[in-house]
Amino acid sequence: MTRTALPARTDPVLARWRNAVFAVFALSGFVFANWAARVPNIRDILGATTQEMGVLILGLAIGAMVGLVASSHVIAHLGATAAIRWFLGLTAVGLIGAGLVAGLFPNYWALFAALMVLGAGNSVLDVAMNLSGAANERRIGKTLMPMFHAGFSFGTMLGAGIGALTEQLGVPAGVHLTSVGVAVVAVSVYVVRFLQPAEEPREAGETAGWRTRLTAWTDLRVLLIGLIILGMAFTEGTANDWLGLAMVDGYGLTNPGGAAVFAVFVTAMTVGRVSGGKFLDRFGRVPVLAASAGLAFVGLLLVILGPTAPFAIAGSVLWGLGASLGFPVGMSAAADDPVKATANVAAVATIGYVAFLIGPPLIGLLGDQVGLRNAFYVVLVLVAVALLCSPAAKKPATAKPAE
């Protein structure tokens, strides 16, 4: 049975769905930023080296890769809405576990396991919420993906701010992280009920078996979009994992100061994502991606080579602006064909998340040898890769218009 013929942009059901997707993105970012802001304090609690912290954060990446490998099959079975419900909850459970370990019985490998749970939950959630957002965008007929990803950035900005405040006030990391996880579970129960089904349209007789989903891995455009996301996710993820510590160890800031610079970075990302839609509509994906890569490159150089902390903080702003649109633009490009959206989004997300798999131990290992600031040179290479692959994000002439 069809709903009333209200204009899509004013349909209250679609508007509530849009707002719920925005909130889910925000909750995902909020969970992660609260964890990231307390990394320096967790390092102190465990008495870990930079390299050991790199291996610990690898737990997030391993969980994420397991979740991503399974994501297209899980979402095909559950549907995007149910996947969001269950895996947003699992993400929060992982954060609660990390908080309990840090607060009650600090143990390196128990924390590693909690981060694996957090990573697995968030990776399936990532694919599902992007699919729901893309479906909502098509139904409303308006560019919304950058704003949805801005929701993620709003969540990280709020989470980083709370993390910096709890550091300043001396709130134990265990109490902080556990409380945030419980709050996210409570909010998610309310938010998810406004989501609508995001099933893909299919031709008569078309099947959606696992072989069909694997065809994304033979599509050159999908693979190149994956490389864009790989480079830009590495750029974003390096800041998430290491910017706070780099400011503490490289520029002599306090732990709260390092957390505050991380908050500056995610605020810059938020600004980039809020304003990104206008630039994308005016100039197109390829020029915007190229400009973003250029900003990230310059920002990284300032963080690496800046003679004083103010130069590095200015670099963090440019770094955040440059990293802001790579992931949402890549996801939008992967979802251009709604029939293949689940498989394509899962494929590019999997390629992108390789950055989270190789990034933490690589930067940690190099940081132990040459310092974190010098280790960031690796990121510059991947920014260049994203720049070279940016033409692949151009919307195909055969892509279906928004409905």
Residue 88 resides in a domain:
yes
Angstrom distance (rounded) from CA 244 to CA 260: 8
In this structure, what are the phi and psi dihedrals at residue 5, rounded to the nearest 5 degrees?
A: -85, 45
pLDDT attached to residue 209: 59
Angstrom distance (rounded) from CA 333 to CA 330: 5
pLDDT attached to residue 210: 58
Domain with 314 in it: 11-197+213-393
Residue 206 resides in a domain:
no
Residue by residue, pLDDT tens for the chain (403 residues) are 444 445 555 689 999 999 999 999 999 999 988 998 888 888 888 888 877 887 888 888 789 888 988 888 898 888 889 999 999 999 999 999 999 998 888 889 999 999 999 999 999 999 899 889 988 987 887 778 888 988 987 898 899 889 989 988 989 999 999 999 999 999 999 999 999 987 654 544 444 555 666 777 778 888 999 898 888 888 888 887 788 888 888 888 888 888 888 888 988 988 888 888 788 878 888 899 889 988 999 999 999 988 889 999 999 999 999 998 888 888 888 878 777 777 888 888 888 777 766 776 788 888 888 888 888 899 988 988 888 888 888 877 655 444 4
- Using alpha carbons, list the distances in angstroms from residue 342 to 128, 249, 335: 8, 42, 8
Helix/strand/coil for 275 = helix
Name the residue among 59, 74, 64 with its Cα closest to residue 119. Answer: 64
Query: How many other C-beta atoms can be found within 10 angstroms of the C-beta atom of residue 170?
Result: 8
CATH number at residue 180: 1.20.1250.20
User: Tell me, what amino acid is at 48?
Assistant: A
DSSP label at 10?
G
Residue 187 resides in a domain:
yes
pTM reported for the whole predicted model: 0.76
Residue 168 resides in a domain:
yes
List, in sequence order, the alpha helices (H) in 38-144. 39-46, 50-78, 80-104, 108-140
Residue 76 resides in a domain:
yes
Residue 3 resides in a domain:
no
Residue 154 resides in a domain:
yes
User: Tell me, what amino acid is at 337?
Assistant: D
Residue 313 resides in a domain:
yes
Angstrom distance (rounded) from CA 20 to CA 13: 11
**For the chain, first and last CA: distance in Å?**
18
pLDDT attached to residue 20: 97
- Our measurement of the distance from residue 97's CA atom to the centroid of its chain's CA atoms, rounded to an integer in Å, reads 21
As for how many domains the chain has, the answer is 1
Angstrom distance (rounded) from CA 84 to CA 98: 21
Handedness of CA 355, 360, 361, 367 (dihedral sign): positive
- CA–CA–CA angle 123, 215, 355 (5° rounding): 35
Query: How many other C-beta atoms can be found within 10 angstroms of the C-beta atom of residue 4?
Result: 6
pLDDT attached to residue 255: 83
